């Protein structure tokens, strides 16, 4: 760090952010949308995307470049789709019947704390949402991915200069990112968005600023006896191997009904998923976790890399490492999130047992996030939605691509999934532009009609207090 204190560094950034935002909030909708497009182009421009994606893998050692290229492009285009023709300037809604007019207002200065697993996609998503709503934003990237975002910001500013955006609309630290700087930043902005570290989520909640933190994933998917098995396992393979399972939405646990278990394992093997033996499982467990924490030398690496590194001696074309498990909890670490192409497989007797097991796994880790199911029985889908503590039930889809919004479902495109009060999150949906807005409501006088007791209590009194019926007016 330079000679300046954390407080001085942050105050300087915030002061410049406030100045930029005070100018930006006077821009009209067309100007705002052009600035949003400029930022999106900075990452979607093929040469930029390739450069940043390769740099991300080189710097962090996490994931693979080709998938990051696809992720950066797809997530950004999806967000543009969601935001197309959305009004965020001036009057955005009018309900004449209720006499309510809604006016969009920016929140001010946003701080975005972002993870090393998605050092480009997550910041871009936050930036676009912030700018669409006429805020300025300061990004605090993970130290492991800070170089990626610094280089990305250079590319962003090239495009912003073309469209006349205020200077310092988007900023980051020009020194090493530290916990002290991040904490100081969170305390001095109008809105904090945190994706990644649970410690940062907790600190954001205590910062005194309005904070939106999202929860930990540990996705469990159920495949029942009615499912299109070939389709299910092709999707699970695509999802589990994408970017070496860096996403919190990647399947971590697979629950199979015993009637289809052997067939499922065979089909999974055709999708280059290898079932480890007892000895291989023990070696993997010993090395995937060190002192109770995931080993950064192994996570987000390919199955081939993990196998070679640990001398597991599996097939060279293996893309997923499967382990059979029977328990849930701290004594069974494979029941938790693995951030790697390692898939835990459970066998159960029936759907009810599958549902109960999924609930146990959620209560151990990943509660509130999501669950997947491959089935042809709609009643089972509804049952999961009714009975499980999750904000999302992903049906017959590749979970990684579906949870954060897809061109084939209606969820908002996002890289930050709220988990509700189950994980002490302030949101239970996908982070989107609405979370970056203040809304002023104008309330006009409308024709009134006084409520009467009989309107609401007649049925109740007939059932429980009949002597009072005559007094209802």
pLDDT number for residue 241: 97
CATH code (residue 369): 3.40.309.10
Q: Which two tokens stand for residue 60?
A: 């962090």
pLDDT number for residue 259: 97
Please tell me whether residues 232 and 145 are part of one structural domain: no
State yes or no: pLDDT of 1 exceeds 60: no
pLDDT number for residue 202: 87
Look at phi and psi of residue 101 and say left if phi exceeds 0, alpha if psi is from -120 to 50, else beta.
Answer: beta
- Residues in a beta bridge with 329: 332
Tell whether 460 is covered by a domain.
Answer: no
Task: Render pLDDT for 280-331 as a digit per residue (tens, 0 to 9).
Answer: 999 999 999 999 899 999 999 999 999 999 999 999 999 999 999 999 999 9
Expressed as residue numbers, the domain containing 379 is 219-410
Please tell me whether residues 75 and 149 are part of one structural domain: yes
pLDDT number for residue 143: 93
Tell whether 446 is covered by a domain.
Answer: no
pLDDT interval class at 2 (50, 70, 90): low
Please tell me whether residues 205 and 285 are part of one structural domain: no
Please tell me whether residues 170 and 260 are part of one structural domain: no
pLDDT number for residue 3: 77
Tell whether 279 is covered by a domain.
Answer: yes
The percent of residues above 90 in pLDDT, for the chain, comes to 95
Please tell me whether residues 171 and 298 are part of one structural domain: no
Count of structural domains within the chain = 2
Task: Render pLDDT for 346-388 as a digit per residue (tens, 0 to 9).
Answer: 999 999 999 999 999 999 999 999 999 999 999 999 999 999 9
Task: Render pLDDT for 179-230 as a digit per residue (tens, 0 to 9).
Answer: 999 999 999 999 999 998 788 888 888 999 999 999 899 999 999 999 999 9
Would you name the residues annotated as active-site residues?
248
> What's the 3-state SS for the chain?
CCCCCHHHHHHHHHHHHHHHHHHHCCCCHHHHHHHHHHHHHHHHCHHHHHHHHHHHHHHHCCCCHHHHHHHHHHHHHHHHHHHCCCCCCEEEEEECCCCEEEEEEECCEEEEEECCCCCCHHHHHHHHHHHHCCCEEEEEECHHHHHHHHHHHHHHHHHHHHCCCCCCCEEECCCCCCHHHHHHHHCCCCEEEECCCHHHHHHHHCCCCEEEECCCCCEEEEECCCCCHHHHHHHHHHHHHHHHHCCCCCEEEEEEEHHHHHHHHHHHHHCCEEECCHHHHHHHHHHHEECCEECCCCCCCCHHHHHHHHCCCCCCCCCEEEEECCCCECCEHHHCCCCCCEEEEEEECCHHHHHHHHHHHHHHCCCECCEEEECCCHHHHHHHHHHCCECCEEECCCHHHHHCCCCCCCCCCCCCECCHHHHCCCCCCECCHHHHEEEEEEECCCCCCCCCHHHHHHHHHHHHCHHHHHHCC
The separation between the first and the last C-alpha atoms of the chain, rounded to the nearest angstrom, is 73
Please say whether the beta carbons of 156 and 77 come within 8 A.
no
What's the mean pLDDT in 436-455?
95
Please tell me whether residues 184 and 230 are part of one structural domain: no
Please tell me whether residues 40 and 154 are part of one structural domain: yes
Please tell me whether residues 303 and 231 are part of one structural domain: yes
- To 5 degrees, how large is the angle CA 173–CA 179–CA 184? 70
State yes or no: pLDDT of 95 exceeds 80: yes
Please tell me whether residues 149 and 298 are part of one structural domain: no
Please say whether the beta carbons of 22 and 109 come within 8 A.
no
What's the mean pLDDT in 92-99?
96
Phi, psi of 387 (to 5 degrees): -100, -25
Tell whether 98 is covered by a domain.
Answer: yes
State yes or no: pLDDT of 18 exceeds 50: yes
pLDDT number for residue 473: 75
Task: Render pLDDT for 100-146 as a digit per residue (tens, 0 to 9).
Answer: 999 999 999 999 999 999 999 999 999 999 999 999 999 999 999 99
Tell whether 416 is covered by a domain.
Answer: no
Tell whether 426 is covered by a domain.
Answer: no
pLDDT number for residue 196: 80
Task: Render pLDDT for 326-343 as a digit per residue (tens, 0 to 9).
Answer: 999 999 999 999 999 999
Please tell me whether residues 207 and 236 are part of one structural domain: no
Please tell me whether residues 405 and 265 are part of one structural domain: yes
Please say whether the beta carbons of 168 and 19 come within 8 A.
yes
Tell whether 450 is covered by a domain.
Answer: no
Please tell me whether residues 152 and 245 are part of one structural domain: no
Task: Render pLDDT for 240-270 as a digit per residue (tens, 0 to 9).
Answer: 999 999 999 999 999 999 999 999 999 999 9
Average pLDDT over the chain reads 96
pLDDT number for residue 198: 80
Tell whether 195 is covered by a domain.
Answer: yes
């Amino acid at each position: 760090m330079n000679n300046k204190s954390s407080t001085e560094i942050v105050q300087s950034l915030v002061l410049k952010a406030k100045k930029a935002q005070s100018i930006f909030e006077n821009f009209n909708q067309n100007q705002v949308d052009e600035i949003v497009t400029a930022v999106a182009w900075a990452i979607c421009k093929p040469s930029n995307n390739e450069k940043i994606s390769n740099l991300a893998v080189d710097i962090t050692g996490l994931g693979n470049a080709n998938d990051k290229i696809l992720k950066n492009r797809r997530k950004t285009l999806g967000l543009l789709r969601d935001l197309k023709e959305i009004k965020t300037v001036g009057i955005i809604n009018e309900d004449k019947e209720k006499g309510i007019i809604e006016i969009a207002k920016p929140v001010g200065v946003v701080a975005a704390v972002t993870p090393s697993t998605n050092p480009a996609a997550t910041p871009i998503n936050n930036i676009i949402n912030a700018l669409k709503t006429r805020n300025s934003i300061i990004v605090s990237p993970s130290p492991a991915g800070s170089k990626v975002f610094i280089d990305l910001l250079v590319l962003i500013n090239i495009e912003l200069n073309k469209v006349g955006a205020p200077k310092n609309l988007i900023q980051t630290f020009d020194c090493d990112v530290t916990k002290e700087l991040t904490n100081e930043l969170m305390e001095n902005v109008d809105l904090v968005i945190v994706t990644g570290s649970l410690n940062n989520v907790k600190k954001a909640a205590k910062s005194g600023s309005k904070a939106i933190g999202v929860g930990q994933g540990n996705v469990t998917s159920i495949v029942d006896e009615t499912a299109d098995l070939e389709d299910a396992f092709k999707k699970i393979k695509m999802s589990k191997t994408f970017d070496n399972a860096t996403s919190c939405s990647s399947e971590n646990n697979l629950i199979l009904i015993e009637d289809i278990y052997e067939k499922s394992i065979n089909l999974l093997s055709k999708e280059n998923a290898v079932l480890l033996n007892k000895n291989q499982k023990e070696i993997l467990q010993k090395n995937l976790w060190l002192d109770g924490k995931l080993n950064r030398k192994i996570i987000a690496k390919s199955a081939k890399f993990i196998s070679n590194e640990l001398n597991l001696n599996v097939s060279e074309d293996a893309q997923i490492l499967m382990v059979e498990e029977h328990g849930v909890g701290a004594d069974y670490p494979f029941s938790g999130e693995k951030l790697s192409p390692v898939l835990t497989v459970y066998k159960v007797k029936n759907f009810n047992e599958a549902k109960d097991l999924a609930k146990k796994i959620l209560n151990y880790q990943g509660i509130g996030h999501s669950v997947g199911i491959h089935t042809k029985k709609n009643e089972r889908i509804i049952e999961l939605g009714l009975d499980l503590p999750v904000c999302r039930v992903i049906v017959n889809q590749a979970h990684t691509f579906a949870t954060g919004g897809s061109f084939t479902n209606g969820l908002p495109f996002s890289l930050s999934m709220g988990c509700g009060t189950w994980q002490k999150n302030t949101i239970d949906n996908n982070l989107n532009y609405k979370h970056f807005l203040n809304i002023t409501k104008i309330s006009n006088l409308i024709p009134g009609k006084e409520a009467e007791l009989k309107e609401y209590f007649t049925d109740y009194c007939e059932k429980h207090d009949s002597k009072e019926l005559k007094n209802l007016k």
